[in-house]
Amino acid sequence: MYKKVRLPGGYAIVQQGALCDCGNILRGAFNAGKIAVITDENVFALYGGIVQKSLSSAGFAVYCYAVAAGERSKNLDEYCSIMTFLAKNEFTGSDTVMTLGGGVCGDLGGFVAATYQRGIRLVSVPTTLLAAIDSSVGGKAAVNLPQGKNLVGAFKQPEVVLCDVDCFSSLTKNEYDEGLGELCKYSLLTGKEFDVKNINKADTISDIVLKCINYKAKIVKKDPYDKGLRRILNLGHTVAHAIESDQRYAVPHGIAVFYGIKRIADVCFKNGIMPEKEYMRCKKIISSYPVSTGDIDIDAAIKKYLVSDKKRSGDNITMVLLRAAGKPFLRSFKLKEAEEFLCR
Protein backbone atom coordinates (compact mmCIF):
# COMPACT_ATOMS: atom_id res chain seq x y z
CA MET A 1 0.00 0.00 0.00
CA TYR A 2 1.44 3.35 -1.01
CA LYS A 3 1.58 6.49 1.10
CA LYS A 4 0.46 9.76 -0.47
CA VAL A 5 1.42 13.36 0.34
CA ARG A 6 -0.17 16.49 -1.11
CA LEU A 7 2.23 18.83 -2.90
CA PRO A 8 1.79 22.28 -4.43
CA GLY A 9 0.48 21.35 -7.88
CA GLY A 10 0.17 17.62 -7.29
CA TYR A 11 1.08 14.80 -4.93
CA ALA A 12 3.90 12.44 -3.98
CA ILE A 13 3.63 8.67 -3.62
CA VAL A 14 6.13 6.70 -1.56
CA GLN A 15 5.89 2.96 -2.20
CA GLN A 16 8.15 -0.08 -2.36
CA GLY A 17 8.09 -1.54 -5.86
CA ALA A 18 6.47 1.56 -7.37
CA LEU A 19 8.63 1.46 -10.50
CA CYS A 20 7.08 -1.81 -11.63
CA ASP A 21 3.62 -0.26 -11.35
CA CYS A 22 4.43 3.27 -12.50
CA GLY A 23 2.35 2.95 -15.67
CA ASN A 24 -0.86 2.09 -13.84
CA ILE A 25 -0.22 4.72 -11.17
CA LEU A 26 0.24 7.46 -13.77
CA ARG A 27 -2.66 6.22 -15.90
CA GLY A 28 -4.82 6.80 -12.84
CA ALA A 29 -3.63 10.42 -12.70
CA PHE A 30 -3.96 11.47 -16.36
CA ASN A 31 -4.64 10.09 -19.82
CA ALA A 32 -1.94 8.07 -21.53
CA GLY A 33 -0.08 9.81 -24.33
CA LYS A 34 3.53 10.40 -25.22
CA ILE A 35 5.97 10.39 -22.32
CA ALA A 36 9.65 11.34 -22.53
CA VAL A 37 11.78 9.65 -19.88
CA ILE A 38 14.78 11.88 -19.15
CA THR A 39 17.40 9.87 -17.30
CA ASP A 40 21.13 9.17 -17.19
CA GLU A 41 23.03 6.22 -18.62
CA ASN A 42 23.61 4.55 -15.24
CA VAL A 43 19.99 4.80 -14.11
CA PHE A 44 18.72 3.71 -17.51
CA ALA A 45 20.83 0.54 -17.30
CA LEU A 46 19.30 -0.25 -13.89
CA TYR A 47 15.68 0.79 -14.30
CA GLY A 48 15.03 1.88 -17.89
CA GLY A 49 13.64 -1.48 -18.99
CA ILE A 50 11.33 -1.78 -15.97
CA VAL A 51 9.91 1.71 -16.46
CA GLN A 52 9.51 1.33 -20.23
CA LYS A 53 7.65 -1.97 -19.83
CA SER A 54 5.29 -0.61 -17.18
CA LEU A 55 4.51 2.59 -19.09
CA SER A 56 4.01 0.79 -22.40
CA SER A 57 1.70 -1.77 -20.80
CA ALA A 58 -0.44 1.09 -19.50
CA GLY A 59 -0.78 2.57 -23.00
CA PHE A 60 1.92 5.26 -22.99
CA ALA A 61 4.12 5.87 -26.04
CA VAL A 62 7.56 5.92 -24.41
CA TYR A 63 10.58 7.90 -25.62
CA CYS A 64 13.82 7.69 -23.63
CA TYR A 65 16.69 10.17 -23.54
CA ALA A 66 19.75 9.26 -21.45
CA VAL A 67 22.53 11.74 -20.65
CA ALA A 68 25.96 10.97 -19.25
CA ALA A 69 25.79 10.57 -15.47
CA GLY A 70 27.02 13.51 -13.40
CA GLU A 71 26.66 17.24 -12.86
CA ARG A 72 28.54 18.07 -16.07
CA SER A 73 25.46 17.04 -18.08
CA LYS A 74 23.46 19.87 -16.53
CA ASN A 75 24.25 22.43 -19.23
CA LEU A 76 22.54 24.43 -21.96
CA ASP A 77 23.85 22.23 -24.79
CA GLU A 78 22.24 19.12 -23.27
CA TYR A 79 19.07 21.08 -22.55
CA CYS A 80 18.82 22.15 -26.21
CA SER A 81 19.44 18.58 -27.37
CA ILE A 82 16.51 17.32 -25.30
CA MET A 83 14.25 20.12 -26.54
CA THR A 84 15.14 19.14 -30.12
CA PHE A 85 14.47 15.47 -29.26
CA LEU A 86 10.94 16.37 -28.09
CA ALA A 87 10.25 18.52 -31.13
CA LYS A 88 11.45 15.85 -33.59
CA ASN A 89 9.16 13.32 -31.90
CA GLU A 90 6.25 15.78 -32.13
CA PHE A 91 5.55 16.19 -28.43
CA THR A 92 2.64 18.54 -27.72
CA GLY A 93 1.31 20.43 -24.72
CA SER A 94 -0.77 17.45 -23.60
CA ASP A 95 2.25 15.11 -23.36
CA THR A 96 4.53 14.40 -20.41
CA VAL A 97 8.15 14.63 -19.33
CA MET A 98 9.25 12.10 -16.70
CA THR A 99 12.55 12.59 -14.90
CA LEU A 100 14.05 9.29 -13.75
CA GLY A 101 17.15 9.54 -11.57
CA GLY A 102 18.80 11.92 -9.16
CA GLY A 103 19.04 15.68 -8.91
CA VAL A 104 20.79 16.21 -12.25
CA CYS A 105 18.03 14.46 -14.21
CA GLY A 106 15.42 16.27 -12.15
CA ASP A 107 16.93 19.68 -12.81
CA LEU A 108 17.56 19.08 -16.51
CA GLY A 109 14.22 17.42 -17.24
CA GLY A 110 12.32 19.85 -15.05
CA PHE A 111 13.75 22.83 -16.94
CA VAL A 112 12.77 21.16 -20.21
CA ALA A 113 9.21 20.57 -18.95
CA ALA A 114 8.97 24.18 -17.75
CA THR A 115 9.94 25.65 -21.12
CA TYR A 116 9.00 23.25 -23.93
CA GLN A 117 5.93 24.81 -25.57
CA ARG A 118 5.83 27.13 -22.52
CA GLY A 119 5.32 24.18 -20.19
CA ILE A 120 4.14 20.57 -20.33
CA ARG A 121 3.27 18.02 -17.64
CA LEU A 122 6.10 16.91 -15.36
CA VAL A 123 6.41 13.65 -13.43
CA SER A 124 9.39 13.14 -11.13
CA VAL A 125 10.69 9.66 -10.27
CA PRO A 126 13.65 10.08 -7.90
CA THR A 127 15.97 7.09 -7.60
CA THR A 128 18.38 8.61 -5.05
CA LEU A 129 17.86 9.47 -1.41
CA LEU A 130 18.85 13.09 -2.05
CA ALA A 131 16.35 13.55 -4.87
CA ALA A 132 13.56 11.80 -2.93
CA ILE A 133 13.83 13.97 0.18
CA ASP A 134 14.65 17.26 -1.48
CA SER A 135 15.18 18.10 -5.15
CA SER A 136 12.16 16.20 -6.56
CA VAL A 137 9.82 18.36 -4.46
CA GLY A 138 9.38 22.10 -4.80
CA GLY A 139 9.55 22.82 -8.51
CA LYS A 140 13.01 24.34 -8.86
CA ALA A 141 14.76 23.37 -12.10
CA ALA A 142 17.98 24.76 -13.52
CA VAL A 143 21.17 24.16 -15.47
CA ASN A 144 24.69 25.41 -14.87
CA LEU A 145 26.90 27.91 -16.65
CA PRO A 146 30.72 27.97 -16.55
CA GLN A 147 30.34 30.97 -14.23
CA GLY A 148 28.33 29.10 -11.60
CA LYS A 149 25.73 26.54 -10.58
CA ASN A 150 21.98 26.75 -11.36
CA LEU A 151 22.22 30.17 -13.02
CA VAL A 152 19.63 29.42 -15.74
CA GLY A 153 16.33 27.93 -14.66
CA ALA A 154 12.62 28.12 -13.93
CA PHE A 155 9.95 26.91 -11.53
CA LYS A 156 7.94 23.85 -12.55
CA GLN A 157 5.88 21.88 -10.05
CA PRO A 158 5.58 18.14 -10.78
CA GLU A 159 2.07 16.75 -10.98
CA VAL A 160 3.28 13.45 -9.56
CA VAL A 161 6.38 12.50 -7.58
CA LEU A 162 6.78 8.73 -7.47
CA CYS A 163 9.35 7.42 -5.00
CA ASP A 164 10.30 3.74 -4.90
CA VAL A 165 12.53 3.33 -1.84
CA ASP A 166 13.78 -0.02 -3.21
CA CYS A 167 15.90 2.03 -5.65
CA PHE A 168 18.13 3.19 -2.79
CA SER A 169 19.62 -0.31 -2.50
CA SER A 170 21.53 0.31 -5.75
CA LEU A 171 23.24 3.48 -4.49
CA THR A 172 26.99 3.59 -3.96
CA LYS A 173 28.42 4.74 -0.62
CA ASN A 174 29.15 8.14 -2.17
CA GLU A 175 25.60 8.46 -3.53
CA TYR A 176 24.11 7.48 -0.18
CA ASP A 177 26.35 10.00 1.56
CA GLU A 178 24.90 12.69 -0.70
CA GLY A 179 21.44 11.93 0.64
CA LEU A 180 22.69 11.86 4.22
CA GLY A 181 24.24 15.30 3.74
CA GLU A 182 20.90 16.72 2.67
CA LEU A 183 19.09 14.80 5.42
CA CYS A 184 21.42 16.37 7.99
CA LYS A 185 20.21 19.74 6.71
CA TYR A 186 16.64 18.77 7.60
CA SER A 187 17.76 17.69 11.08
CA LEU A 188 19.28 21.10 11.73
CA LEU A 189 16.33 22.97 10.23
CA THR A 190 13.72 21.08 12.25
CA GLY A 191 15.74 20.23 15.36
CA LYS A 192 14.64 16.60 14.94
CA GLU A 193 17.07 13.69 14.89
CA PHE A 194 16.25 11.00 12.33
CA ASP A 195 16.85 7.27 12.88
CA VAL A 196 20.00 7.18 10.74
CA LYS A 197 21.25 3.92 12.29
CA ASN A 198 18.28 2.02 10.85
CA ILE A 199 18.01 3.93 7.60
CA ASN A 200 18.57 0.79 5.50
CA LYS A 201 15.25 -0.64 6.71
CA ALA A 202 12.40 0.01 4.27
CA ASP A 203 9.93 1.22 6.90
CA THR A 204 12.49 3.60 8.41
CA ILE A 205 13.58 5.15 5.15
CA SER A 206 9.97 5.45 3.93
CA ASP A 207 9.08 7.30 7.14
CA ILE A 208 12.09 9.63 6.75
CA VAL A 209 11.26 10.39 3.11
CA LEU A 210 7.64 11.18 4.00
CA LYS A 211 8.65 13.49 6.86
CA CYS A 212 11.09 15.42 4.66
CA ILE A 213 8.58 15.74 1.81
CA ASN A 214 5.90 16.94 4.22
CA TYR A 215 8.21 19.54 5.77
CA LYS A 216 9.38 20.90 2.43
CA ALA A 217 5.90 20.84 0.85
CA LYS A 218 4.46 22.99 3.66
CA ILE A 219 7.20 25.59 3.19
CA VAL A 220 6.92 25.58 -0.61
CA LYS A 221 3.14 26.05 -0.38
CA LYS A 222 3.70 29.25 1.65
CA ASP A 223 6.51 30.53 -0.60
CA PRO A 224 6.44 28.80 -4.02
CA TYR A 225 8.83 31.22 -5.74
CA ASP A 226 11.58 31.37 -3.14
CA LYS A 227 11.06 34.99 -2.09
CA GLY A 228 11.15 34.60 1.70
CA LEU A 229 10.52 31.66 4.04
CA ARG A 230 11.54 29.02 1.49
CA ARG A 231 15.08 30.35 1.50
CA ILE A 232 15.72 28.58 4.81
CA LEU A 233 15.89 25.37 2.75
CA ASN A 234 19.18 26.73 1.39
CA LEU A 235 20.98 26.05 4.66
CA GLY A 236 24.61 25.28 3.79
CA HIS A 237 24.06 25.89 0.09
CA THR A 238 26.01 29.13 -0.31
CA VAL A 239 29.18 27.35 0.79
CA ALA A 240 28.16 24.15 -1.04
CA HIS A 241 27.74 25.83 -4.41
CA ALA A 242 31.12 27.54 -4.05
CA ILE A 243 32.75 24.17 -3.31
CA GLU A 244 31.03 22.47 -6.24
CA SER A 245 32.10 25.17 -8.68
CA ASP A 246 35.64 25.29 -7.32
CA GLN A 247 36.02 21.51 -7.52
CA ARG A 248 34.42 21.33 -10.99
CA TYR A 249 31.64 19.19 -9.50
CA ALA A 250 34.03 16.45 -8.39
CA VAL A 251 32.44 16.92 -4.95
CA PRO A 252 28.77 15.84 -5.26
CA HIS A 253 26.05 18.26 -4.20
CA GLY A 254 24.86 16.52 -1.02
CA ILE A 255 28.38 16.12 0.30
CA ALA A 256 29.11 19.78 -0.51
CA VAL A 257 25.97 20.69 1.48
CA PHE A 258 27.35 18.68 4.40
CA TYR A 259 30.57 20.75 4.29
CA GLY A 260 28.42 23.88 4.10
CA ILE A 261 26.28 22.93 7.08
CA LYS A 262 29.34 22.28 9.23
CA ARG A 263 30.86 25.62 8.22
CA ILE A 264 27.63 27.51 9.02
CA ALA A 265 27.40 25.92 12.49
CA ASP A 266 31.06 26.78 13.15
CA VAL A 267 30.83 30.43 12.09
CA CYS A 268 27.51 30.99 13.89
CA PHE A 269 29.16 29.83 17.10
CA LYS A 270 32.34 31.79 16.41
CA ASN A 271 30.38 35.01 15.83
CA GLY A 272 28.25 34.68 18.96
CA ILE A 273 25.00 33.82 17.17
CA MET A 274 24.79 30.30 18.55
CA PRO A 275 25.39 29.59 22.28
CA GLU A 276 27.93 26.91 23.13
CA LYS A 277 25.28 24.49 24.41
CA GLU A 278 23.37 24.70 21.12
CA TYR A 279 26.60 24.45 19.13
CA MET A 280 27.51 21.21 20.89
CA ARG A 281 24.07 19.80 20.06
CA CYS A 282 24.49 20.77 16.40
CA LYS A 283 27.90 19.10 16.34
CA LYS A 284 26.34 15.98 17.88
CA ILE A 285 23.66 15.88 15.19
CA ILE A 286 26.19 16.43 12.40
CA SER A 287 28.53 13.72 13.74
CA SER A 288 25.66 11.20 13.75
CA TYR A 289 25.70 11.25 9.95
CA PRO A 290 28.46 8.94 8.62
CA VAL A 291 29.32 11.10 5.60
CA SER A 292 32.83 10.62 4.20
CA THR A 293 34.64 13.92 3.66
CA GLY A 294 38.18 14.96 2.76
CA ASP A 295 40.35 18.08 2.91
CA ILE A 296 39.05 20.98 0.84
CA ASP A 297 40.16 24.59 0.92
CA ILE A 298 36.70 25.97 1.63
CA ASP A 299 37.95 29.52 2.18
CA ALA A 300 39.51 29.61 -1.29
CA ALA A 301 36.28 28.34 -2.87
CA ILE A 302 34.21 30.97 -1.07
CA LYS A 303 36.53 33.81 -2.06
CA LYS A 304 36.45 32.75 -5.72
CA TYR A 305 32.79 31.82 -6.24
CA LEU A 306 30.68 33.69 -3.68
CA VAL A 307 30.25 36.50 -6.22
CA SER A 308 28.50 34.05 -8.62
CA ASP A 309 25.98 32.68 -6.13
CA LYS A 310 22.42 32.83 -7.48
CA LYS A 311 21.17 34.05 -4.08
CA ARG A 312 23.06 37.29 -4.63
CA SER A 313 21.03 40.48 -5.21
CA GLY A 314 23.21 43.38 -6.33
CA ASP A 315 26.01 43.70 -3.78
CA ASN A 316 24.05 41.76 -1.16
CA ILE A 317 23.63 38.07 -0.48
CA THR A 318 21.14 36.38 1.85
CA MET A 319 22.31 33.37 3.84
CA VAL A 320 20.66 30.92 6.20
CA LEU A 321 22.13 30.99 9.71
CA LEU A 322 21.34 29.04 12.88
CA ARG A 323 20.67 30.18 16.44
CA ALA A 324 20.24 26.52 17.33
CA ALA A 325 19.07 23.28 15.75
CA GLY A 326 15.47 24.00 14.77
CA LYS A 327 16.00 27.78 14.77
CA PRO A 328 17.15 28.88 11.30
CA PHE A 329 16.90 32.49 10.17
CA LEU A 330 17.87 34.62 7.18
CA ARG A 331 20.44 37.41 7.23
CA SER A 332 21.51 39.70 4.42
CA PHE A 333 25.21 40.58 4.04
CA LYS A 334 27.27 42.75 1.79
CA LEU A 335 29.42 40.43 -0.33
CA LYS A 336 32.66 41.35 1.43
CA GLU A 337 31.01 40.99 4.83
CA ALA A 338 29.67 37.56 3.84
CA GLU A 339 33.12 36.45 2.76
CA GLU A 340 34.66 37.58 6.04
CA PHE A 341 31.86 35.94 8.02
CA LEU A 342 32.21 32.57 6.26
CA CYS A 343 36.00 32.34 6.10
CA ARG A 344 38.06 31.28 9.08
pLDDT(147) > 90? no
Choice among 49-63, 67-81, 303-317 with the minimum mean pLDDT:
303-317
Q: What percent of the chain has pLDDT over 90?
A: 87
With a threshold of 0.75, does the pTM exceed it? Answer: yes
What pLDDT is attached to residue 285? 96
Distance, CA of 221 to CA of 325 (rounded, Å): 23
pLDDT(264) > 70? yes
Domains and CATH numbers, the chain: 3-171 (3.40.50.1970), 174-342 (1.20.1090.10)
Instruction: Quote the longest CA-to-CA distance of the chain.
Output: 60
309-343 tens-digit pLDDT: 877 888 899 999 999 999 999 999 999 999 999 99
What's the whole-number mean pLDDT along residues 158-167? 96
Choice among 13-22, 39-48, 276-285 with the minimum mean pLDDT:
13-22
Query: What's the mean pLDDT when you consider all of the chain?
Result: 94
| SS3 letters across the chain | CCEEEEECCEEEEECCCHHHHHHHHHHCCCCCCEEEEEEEHHHHHHHHHHHHHHHHHCCCEEEEEEECCCHHHCCHHHHHHHHHHHHHCCCCCCCEEEEEECHHHHHHHHHHHHHHHHCCEEEEEECCHHHHHHHCCCCEEEEEECCEEEEEEEECCCCEEEECHHHHHHCCHHHHHHHHHHHHHHHHHHCCCCCHHHCCCHHHHHHHHHHHHHHHHHHHHHCCCCCCHHHHHHCCHHHHHHHHHHCCCCCCHHHHHHHHHHHHHHHHHHCCCCCHHHHHHHHHHHHCCCCCCCCCCHHHHHHHHHHHCCCEECCEEEEEEEEECCEEEEEEEEHHHHHHHHCC
